[in-house]
Amino acid sequence: MIPDTHTTALDRLAQQAHHERTLFDYPPREWVPPRLRDGERVLDVVIVGGGQNGIAAASGLQQARVPNLLMLDENPEGREGPWVTYARMITLRTIKTLPGPALKVPALSFQSWYEAQYGADAWEALVRIPREMWMAYLGWIRQTLAIPTMHGTRLELIEPDDGLLRLTVRTSAGTQHILTRKVVLATGSTGAGGRNIPAFVEQKLPRDRWAHSAQSIDFAALQGKDVAVLGAGASAFDNAATALEAGAARVDLYMRRATLPEMNSARFMEFEGLYRHFAEMDSLVRWRFMRKIFASPMPPPPDTFLRTTAFPNFHMHFESAWEDVGLRDDGTIELVTPTGTHTADFAILGTGFAANLARRPELAAVLPHVALWGDRFVPPAGEESPAIARFPFLGAGFELTERTPGECPEVADIHMFNGGALPSMGPIGLGINGMAHGTERLVRGITRDFYLRDAERFCAEFLAYDVPEAKLVPAPVAMPSPSPT
């Protein structure tokens, strides 16, 4: 929530952002020819997901003169994405100076937003961005850019409809249908699948005794309890820390690995060449990048690690992935690991996300027609990876591709600007680091399709173009006087 005293400064900054955008708003023509269905104009783009990617996509499309769009999010306003819902770190994990969704408009940068309210010295002193502030900043951009948004609106189904896409959405008022030419699925980490949950946990533990780290958890209820966390990534540690801070009696963190991961493969990938051109690499090379990423999970950030290890009642168990779980007669959870059997009152799964399009109800109608990596690429012997093979095989603008060409061309109008893009596009579809590059590529893909589908029409209009240029009358040149110094 932005304090009232800061709103004037933010209003001024919003005006500056509009001004900066007008400095680069050539050519201003809205150029996408309208498409009508039953006499009504259909939307050009529906963006599903009002988080940072959805906002950046909308902003990029506005800049490309594709303003006939709508953004929707199932969450209420101000609660899009993980930042104030299930993210449990104190600050963002990434550095404060990433360009994020500003898309080269300086006044839209986080730094400008922060300095407008707290001043340049405070910015210098800031180490990392508090996650609640990141949420407030994203909301400010959405409002500043007047992105048309429907909150509390869940996309349930996408169906091809004679060259368009027909969306079924659910709101508190009921079910609605929306026709659009394109859909951008800016649906986040789970956008191409869901949470990674071991089947035996779901089958053997009552639902109120466990949670995935990306779900809401009543930490106050864990006071005085023994909590078991599975996983060695940043979210596992954040959840362990939150439980400890809430007064858990002890927290045990279990991991498959013999040591904590130390290397962060994302660090290597942070350079312009890769962000711009990963998607153009040969499939085998992309596959090899992915195998390395999948084999090297990110270590917890140092401050996250210290946040947990500061507690004497925090314990780590290496080479101790859960092999089975059960509920004892006394009501405690039993955890079977290769290093022994343990107990807990509550279990938290910091097990991340997995791609599996079959888990996305909105894709059910098009799923049989969608090409996955496993359909398009056969890895060399010894380099197989079922986990990567399940990802969608995307085209150059984040679009789904057809499994059998010609069967359902509309799938190419669904753009996966979410966690499902990783093997095809590299690290530009999810995360603040690569989002400027991802947005540029996404928007170019969308405008490419819109332009090329009407190329003959543009050509015909050009051949018929016969508008005389206004007669040039030499205007008196008024030189401005230099400003007094």
Judged by the rule CB under 6 A, the positions of this chain that interact with ligand FAD are 48-54, 72-75, 80-82, 87, 92-94, 154-155, 186-189, 214, 235, 362, 418, 430-433
- Cα–chain-centroid distance for residue 472? 50
Q: How far is the CB of 426 from ligand FAD (least distance, A)?
A: 14
Q: How far is the CB of 153 from ligand FAD (least distance, A)?
A: 6
Q: How far is the CB of 402 from ligand FAD (least distance, A)?
A: 22
- Cα–chain-centroid distance for residue 409? 25
When the beta carbons of 81 and 397 are compared against ligand FAD, the nearer one is: 81
When the beta carbons of 362 and 440 are compared against ligand FAD, the nearer one is: 362
CA distance 342 to 470: 84
When the beta carbons of 98 and 164 are compared against ligand FAD, the nearer one is: 98
When the beta carbons of 362 and 402 are compared against ligand FAD, the nearer one is: 362
Q: How far is the CB of 131 from ligand FAD (least distance, A)?
A: 7
Q: How far is the CB of 167 from ligand FAD (least distance, A)?
A: 10
Task: State the CB neighbour count (10 A cutoff) for residue 86.
Answer: 17
When the beta carbons of 17 and 87 are compared against ligand FAD, the nearer one is: 87
When the beta carbons of 32 and 348 are compared against ligand FAD, the nearer one is: 348
Determine the residue type at 414: I
Q: How far is the CB of 93 from ligand FAD (least distance, A)?
A: 3
When the beta carbons of 359 and 457 are compared against ligand FAD, the nearer one is: 359
Task: State the CB neighbour count (10 A cutoff) for residue 19.
Answer: 11
CA distance 315 to 340: 14
When the beta carbons of 16 and 75 are compared against ligand FAD, the nearer one is: 75
When the beta carbons of 171 and 332 are compared against ligand FAD, the nearer one is: 171
Q: How far is the CB of 458 from ligand FAD (least distance, A)?
A: 33
Alpha carbon dihedral 356, 361, 365, 370, in 10-degree steps, equals -20
Give me the residue label for tokens 């962000």.
Answer: 275
Give me the residue label for tokens 């927290």.
Answer: 251
When the beta carbons of 252 and 362 are compared against ligand FAD, the nearer one is: 362
Q: How far is the CB of 233 from ligand FAD (least distance, A)?
A: 10
Radius of gyration of the chain (CA): 25
CB 60 within 8 A of CB 442: yes
Q: How far is the CB of 379 from ligand FAD (least distance, A)?
A: 27
Q: How far is the CB of 183 from ligand FAD (least distance, A)?
A: 11
